[in-house]
Structure 1
Amino acid sequence: MRFNTALLAVTAAGTAVADRPANESICDYYTTALLKENNATNQYTLLTLLVNTAVIGNYTQPNVGVMVPGILNPNGTYNNTKVNLVPYFDGGLASTNDGGNMGVAKNFLDGGGAAPLMKNMPADDTTSNQYKLLTHLYQFFGSLLGCSEVGMTGFAAYAGDASMYEVHKFMVLDPLQMGYFIEQVALSAASFGVATSDIEAVGQALGSLFNYRCAPKTTVIKAQGPQYQSVCTDESCPLADNATCAAQPSMSQPLVANATLADGEGRMPSGSATMSMSGGSTGTATMSGGASGTASGASSPSSTFNAASHAAPGLTGVFAALVAFLAL
């Protein structure tokens, strides 16, 4: 089924989309609402549309009128502060965990950049860093949103790195950067007519999972068990309850690998020289790339992740704005 046709149907349905039964996952419900038949292929299509829109901004027409600037917008703002995440993706910063004791530069836009995403594809090949990143994002978010067909033919189960702390630790992201990232996911969902209550649940899920420094191990992907999942690791990030910082040591800010690509976003420690990029273009890890394994250190309590158990710090304004917009 053509997705544009599905969007027209959702737009015409209006508030009917808001009546998701409590016993039906966000993924399953909106797959049916948008694409009519709830199967593995359509669930994967839904996650492709949601993730691609969050990454590059609006590219489907029509939508319900919500503008999505996109994670890869170099002129992003959050809480009236400029945020530019592009250097983490295009090799501007040495921020990817490639298994060593410091970050390296890696290009995650090497599979055609935005062009294939606008065609509802992850990349224009199946071997690039971009392909690995985007397909892992589809799979990870599919599990997070409760897609019942994950692991079936048409929607492979997430098999990327288990610990998001390990993946992202050399990025040293702060609350503004995390807030902007999560805001784009929320806006992407809103642009497809997702109900405000479900947008809040998704935002709270991402915030409670990733936005607290030194958080104890949590199970997100059941097959992978409890893992360290903190992505907000800058010293300005709020400290988690029962913090386990000994097992998740703080890192120095990533070095500039390419001053042109860094575009003024370099977080070089004082006195460090600019690095040259090795092996051609490179970018950074997000929720799926980087080195595998969990942080070493003292053992800690663990839990199973509850998608809507906590409000995400710093996101209250995001959802208030969405509520106001969707009420118009």
Structure 2
Amino acid sequence: MLFKSAIITLATIGAAVAQRPSNESICDYYTTALLKQNNATNQYTLLTLLVNTVVIGNYTQPNVGVSVPGILSPKGMYNGTKVNLMPYFDGGLASSNNGSKMGVAKNFLDGGAAAPLMKNMPADDKSSNQYKLMTHLYQFFGSLLGCSGVGMTGFSAYSGHASMYEVHKFMVLDPYEVGYFIEQVGLAAASFGVAKTDINAVVGVLESMFDYRCAPKSTAIKSQGLQYQSICSDEKCPLAMNSTCAAQPSLSQPLVANSTLAGGEGSNSTSMSGTPTSSMSSSNSPSSTPNVAVQYTPELTGLFSGALLLLAL
């Protein structure tokens, strides 16, 4: 979905600054506030903007003064600990689950890396791993945020794996890595003017579902029912109440990949800019700003400028 000149405006100041009604989902409320009309297509656009920001950091202007490094920043920091999630995405680690007994290396940046994301697209190539990953993220978070248009024309229902534990188990993520991911979701939401109370609600769901080792089954996608969902499986992760570790055995750390793994996909040299380099190029540079602007009134900016979320385990 390409928006060459997408200008996102607020329907009315009153609709945006009023407290969200308890009977209206976060997705529906902010779709109306930012895109005027609440329909499946606009909901998908909102989730595209949000998730792409989570992945590559700020790329729309303005952003209510909230800095979002993005989960692929090589200089991530969480609670004083350095975090680098890039090797899980660029094939640098044999950490993807393809149904076998050990992880494999897989490049999820094979659809144009950051370039299409900065155009509000999931990838350049619909057959790529990147396209599948990004569209599944839009669908998954659309369901979590209560988008009423999910499953309708313009917003396909989630079609990915039911258990996030199974998807991520070979990554052996620690609490800093999971915490950093959840923090980026909160910061991305804040950058679009989402109220702090709504951010806290979303983060609370993500923490309870993903952040505790051996957590019992829970429901992420209603149609998929109860599944093991926690992605924090390192021994340093806090143990869940009523833990079910026997059903979710601890695994060793993922192997460092090389060119012989996953058909040559293993690599630590692909940046989100698509240029071979040893580190990810900054998504906050002027050259990375697309033809997309989120327009905020002074009243809205003042109201939500303090909506930063700093998580603590």
Same fold (TM over 0.5): yes
* Aligned-pair identity (%): 75
TM-score using structure 1 length = 0.78
Match for residue 277 of structure 1 among 246, 261, 285: 261
Counterpart of 2:70 in structure 1 is 70
CA contact (8 A) 1:216 1:243 kept: yes
* Greater alpha carbon shift after TM alignment, 91-100 vs 214-223: 214-223
Deviations 1:34-61 (CA, angstroms, capped at 9, x unpaired):
0000000000000000000000000111
Counterpart of 1:35 in structure 2 is 35
Alpha-carbon separation, structure 2, partners of 1:243 and 1:323: 28
Matches within 5 A, 1:156-235: 156-235=156-235
Counterpart of 1:25 in structure 2 is 25
Go from structure 1 to structure 2 and tell me whether the alpha carbon gap of 1:63 and 1:15 turns closer, same or farther (over 3 Å shift): farther
Give the aligned residue type for 1:208: S
Go from structure 1 to structure 2 and tell me whether the alpha carbon gap of 1:39 and 1:14 turns closer, same or farther (over 3 Å shift): closer
Alpha-carbon separation, structure 1, partners of 2:115 and 2:86: 16
After TM superposition, give the deviation of residue 3 of structure 1 in Å.
4.6
**Counterpart of 1:213 in 2: which secondary structure?**
coil
Counterpart of 2:308 in structure 1 is 322
User: Which consecutive segments of 4 or more residues in structure 1 shift more than 6 A?
Assistant: none
Cα RMSD of the aligned pairs, angstroms, is 2.1
CA contact (8 A) 2:74 2:85 kept: yes
* Greater alpha carbon shift after TM alignment, 49-58 vs 76-85: 76-85
Deviations 1:194-244 (CA, angstroms, capped at 9, x unpaired):
000011111111101100111111111111111000100001111111111
Deviations 1:71-116 (CA, angstroms, capped at 9, x unpaired):
0101111112110000000000000001100000000000000000
Go from structure 1 to structure 2 and tell me whether the alpha carbon gap of 1:209 and 1:84 turns closer, same or farther (over 3 Å shift): same
CA contact (8 A) 1:17 1:193 kept: no
Alpha-carbon separation, structure 2, partners of 1:174 and 1:166: 16
Counterpart of 1:58 in structure 2 is 58
TM-score using structure 2 length = 0.82
Matches within 5 A, 1:44-123: 44-123=44-123
After TM superposition, give the deviation of residue 15 of structure 1 in Å.
9.4
CA contact (8 A) 1:214 1:248 kept: yes
Alpha-carbon separation, structure 1, partners of 2:154 and 2:211: 31
Alpha-carbon separation, structure 2, partners of 1:217 and 1:205: 14
After TM superposition, give the deviation of residue 18 of structure 1 in Å.
5.2
